[in-house]
Amino acid sequence: MKSALKKFSCSKFWQYFSLSFVKCWAISGMSVFIFIIVYWIYGGLLAYCTLFVIILVILYQIQDNLLYHPEDSFQSRYYVQIPPVVGLPYENIFLRSIDGTLIHLYFIAQIGEKSLTAPTLVFFHGNAGNMGHRLQNASGLYHNLHCNILMVEYRGYGLSSGRPSEEGLCMDARAAVDYLSSRKDINHRQIIVFGRSLGGAIAIDLAARPEYSAKIWCLILENTFTSIPDMADALFQWRFLKSIPLICYKNKFLSRQKIARVNNPTLFVSGLSDALVPPAMMTELHNKCGSIYKQLLHIEAGTHNDTWTCSGYYTSIANFLHSAATFKPDPPIIISSIKDV
């Protein structure tokens, strides 16, 4: 499986790299021009050194294109499915992020007065497509957990403006929680933050900030990673990646370091059939989590994007939330598992 994954990852990498390089055609053309001028005036050695530096700069600049894929699905930057498609009520929201970028959200409330007492789950999705592609999952959470849901569409995704970046996405997450704080029609004592894959890294960054941790009741992380450098090493297994300084990574998402500062009750949902993010990363995050109440849920048949379709998924999350609501100091660390049925 590892060799197949490596082959797939490499092909995907070169596909996205070539597309990113085409997007930077002006910079690329200028680079060739500079190389020729330097070669003609100063000779080969300096010219090749200049070209090497230019390539490094281009690689640094296109990292966003290699990591974020808001256009991975057809028309995903122009068309976002609305919740009524899966029978859910909703409010369509546009708000300004911390730096003024306009972002798009769906607020899906329980019917009637139930919304006043129900928990509210903030949904941070993965790095491809838009939040409309997660509506089936949102419907399952809505009906099984009896919660309100705030779905967040990061900058550069779906109908949100701007371009994605690590700093920008984390600002959007904080803006979403700030928005919930301004609403008078929800239970502010039960805010759940949910993040899958890239969304998990964003959720960890949010919960690791004391001023936002105080606003969060529980954290749910699904198939997320320890850091972007770790993912690069796991996917490509190129030895030279280990020697690349951290400063060379434009996007880092250092969840391994941040998770130690998380003290909210935390559920780690790990699909053991995940062929993208190694399940060992979820185990490591669980072990390093600073919360005194944490649970690692293994789902044997769970893949990276489809763990939520496995039997027992929603029941396990509901059980965790019930336990978190009644937990007392020094609870046992629970490790559970769901096998394919």
Residues marked as catalytic? 197, 274, 304
Give whole-number Cα distances, 51 to 35, 36, 169, 177, 250, in Å.
6, 10, 32, 45, 20
Amino acid identity of 15?
A: Q
CA distances from 71 to 81, 229, 309 (A): 15, 23, 24
Q: What's the burial of 16, exposed, middle or buried (CB within 10 Å: 0-12/13-18/19+)?
A: middle
How many Å apart are CA 75 and CA 145, to the nearest integer?
A: 31
Spatial contact of 102 and 160, defined as CB atoms under 8 Å apart: yes
The torsion defined by the Cα of 240, 204, 103 and 318, in degrees rounded to 10, comes to 130
Beta strands in 81-130 (DSSP E): 91-96, 102-108, 120-124
CA distance linking residue 4 with residue 205, whole number of Å? 32
For residue 279, what are the CA distances in angstroms to 61, 204, 268?
Answer: 30, 17, 11
C-alpha angle 186/108/155, rounded to 5°?
Answer: 100
Q: Considering only CA atoms, which of 259, 255, 142 is closest in space to residue 197?
A: 255
Phi-psi region of 58 (alpha: psi -120 to 50; beta: other; left: phi over 0): alpha
Other CB atoms within a 10 A radius of the CB of residue 12 amount to 13
Q: Which residue has the tokens 């006043």?
A: 116
β-strand pairing of 91-96 with 102-108: antiparallel
